[in-house]
Amino acid sequence: MSSLSLMLALIIFLVCGIPVAWSFGLSCALYMLCQGIDLSIFVQRLGSGMNSFPLLAIPLFMLAGEIMNSGGITRRIIRLANSLVGHLPAGLGHVNILASLIFSGMSGSAVADTSALGTVLVPAMEKQGYSRAYSAAVTAASSTIGPIVPPSIPIVIYGLTAGVSIKDLFLAGFVPGLLMAVTLMVMNSILGARQHILAKIEFSWGELRQGLSLGILPTLLPLIIVGGMTLGFFTATEAAAVAVVYGIILSLVYREASIKSLFKTFSSTAYKTGVVVVIIGFATLLGWIIALEQVPSKIASVVLALTTNKVIILALINAFLLIVGFFLEANAAILILAPVMVPMIEKVGVDPVHFGIIMVLNLMIGLITPPVGGCLYMVSEVANISVEKVVIGVLPFMIPLLVTLLIVTYLPQIVLFLPHIF
C-alpha cells in the first residue's frame, strides 16, 4: 500500500501541473515522512544521483547538438539530403525525412530536430505546393527518428537508469532508425502520389558532389562516436566530449559561429542541463524507494501470474507505453518505468538492449500525440499553424511508425544485429 500511495501522490502532483522534478521530490519526501525514514537519506540519495561521471554524457551531448544547430550545419544537411532524394516524386518530403535521419546523428533530441529543420523546410515545402499542415506533419513525424539514432539523450538516460551498456544501445539504434526513415518515405510517396506532388528538380551528379562536399563532415559524427566506443578508444562520456570538440571545430571551419554565439550556446545548454540533472537526481531517489518496496518483483509476479507468453507481454507493454507517452515527457517516463520494467522483461527472456529501443520508440511516438506531444507544439509554433491541424496531418504517418514498432518488437535480431557483431 505504501508503494501505491507513493505512485498515487506522484500522479496527483503531475496532473496538478507541478514540474516533474518537484513532483518526484515531493512524493518521495511524503513517503519517507510517512514511513519514518530519516530525511538525511533524502539529501544523500539526491546528491549521489547527480554525482555520476557517466551522467556527464547527457549535458555534453546536449551541448554538441546545440553547437551543431548554431553552426550553420542544418543548411548543409538539407543540401545533402536534397541532392540525394530531392529529384524523386514528393521529393521535398523525402528531403525532410532524410535530413531528420542525418541530423539525428548530431542533436539526440526530437524537439531540437523539429525546431532546426522545420524553420527551413516548412516554408520551402509550401513554395513547392505542399500544404502547410502536411509540411508540418512530415517535420514532426520524421523528428521522432532523432532519439533512436545515436547519439541519443533518452537512450543515455535509459542506459544509466537500467544499467545497460550505452555502446550496445547506440549500436542497436542504427537499423531501427533507418527502418523508420524508409517506412516514413513510403508513406510520403503514397500521400504525394494522391496529391499529385511531383519532383521539382532533376538529378544532377554535380549537385550530388556539391551536397556531399558540404554535408559529409557532419554525417561522420555518429560513426566517430559509436566507432570510438566500439573500438575502446573512449567511453560514452568521453565520446560526448569528442562530439563537442568536433562540433566546435566544424563550426569554426565553416565560419558560421563566433565566440559570442558559442557563449550563447554554452549558456543555453547550462540552463537545460540544470533542469535535466535535477530531474535525474530526484528520479534516483524515487528508484531507490521503488527498489526498497520491491515494486519490480511484485509487478513481475502479477504479470507472470496472468501470462508467461512473451508475445502477449510485449503487446501489453507497448500498449501501456504508448498511453504513457500521451501524458508524460519521455525522459521522465524512462526514469520512472525503466527500473520497474527491466527486471520483469528479463524474466521472460527479453534482452534489455532490445527493450531499451522498444521503450524509447514508444515514447517518441508520444511526442507527436496530444495532449503533451512536444514536437506537435514546436512545429505548430515554427509553421504558425494550429496544433489541431498538425495532429490531423500527422495521423497517416502514425501508420509507418507503428509498423516499425511492431517489427522492432517482434524481430529482435533487427535491433541486436549490430551489438552482436561488435
In terms of domains, do 102 and 224 share one? yes
Domain identity same for 31 and 67: no
Query: Quick check: is 300 in a domain?
Result: yes
Which residue bears the cell 537512450? 155
**pLDDT of 340:** 84
Output the CA–CA distances (angstroms, integers) from residue 59 to 53, 285, 381, 409, in the order listed: 11, 20, 26, 30
Q: How far is CA 211 from CA 86, 99, 216, 223, 362, in A?
A: 11, 12, 8, 19, 33
Query: Considering its fold, how many domains does the chain have in total?
Result: 2
Task: Measure the CA–CA gap between 22 and 233, rounded to whole angstroms.
Answer: 38
Q: What is the DSSP letter of 200?
A: S
Predicted TM-score of the model (pTM): 0.85
In whole angstroms, give the CA distance from residue 315 to residue 75. 40
In a domain, 278, yes or no: yes
| pLDDT < 50 regions, the chain | none
In this prediction, residue 105 carries a pLDDT of 67
Same domain, 58 and 177: yes
Task: Tell me whether residue 161 is in a domain.
Answer: yes
Residue numbers of the domain that contains 152? 53-421
Longest dimension (CA), the chain: 72
Are both 342 and 413 inside the same structural domain? yes
Does any domain span residue 48? no
By CB atoms closer than 10 A (0-12, 13-18, 19+), residue 23 is buried
**Gyration radius (Cα) of the chain, Å:** 21
**What's the confidence (pLDDT) of residue 106?**
67
349, with CB counted inside 10 A (0-12, 13-18, 19+), is exposed
> Is the sign of the CA dihedral 205, 127, 179, 212 positive or negative?
positive
CA distance 279 to 299: 24
In a domain, 334, yes or no: yes
Output the pLDDT for position 353: 96
E strand or H helix at 331, and its extent? helix 330-347
Residues 24 and 93 in one domain: no
Q: What is the pLDDT of residues 209-248, one digit of tens each?
A: 888 887 788 788 888 888 888 888 888 888 888 888 888 8
Residue spans of beta strands (DSSP E) within 63-188: none
Same domain flag for 135 and 3: no
Same domain flag for 24 and 170: no
85 and 31 in a common domain: no
The whole-angstrom separation of Cα 181 and Cα 145 is 7
The pLDDT assigned to 107 comes to: 63
Q: Are residues 117 and 214 in the same domain?
A: yes
Among left, alpha and beta (phi > 0; psi -120 to 50; other), residue 18 is: beta
Domain membership flag for residue 379: yes
Other CB atoms closer than 10 Å to residue 372's CB: what's the count? Answer: 15
CA dist 332 and 283 (Å) reads: 8
Strands of 92-131 (E only): list them.
none
Task: Let me know whether 88 and 193 are in one domain.
Answer: yes
Are 28 and 124 in the same domain? no
Residues 10 and 156 grouped into a single domain = no
pLDDT at 312: 92
Residue 353's contacts (CB-CB under 8 Å, 6 or more residues apart) are 164, 165, 168, 169, 172, 415, 416, 419
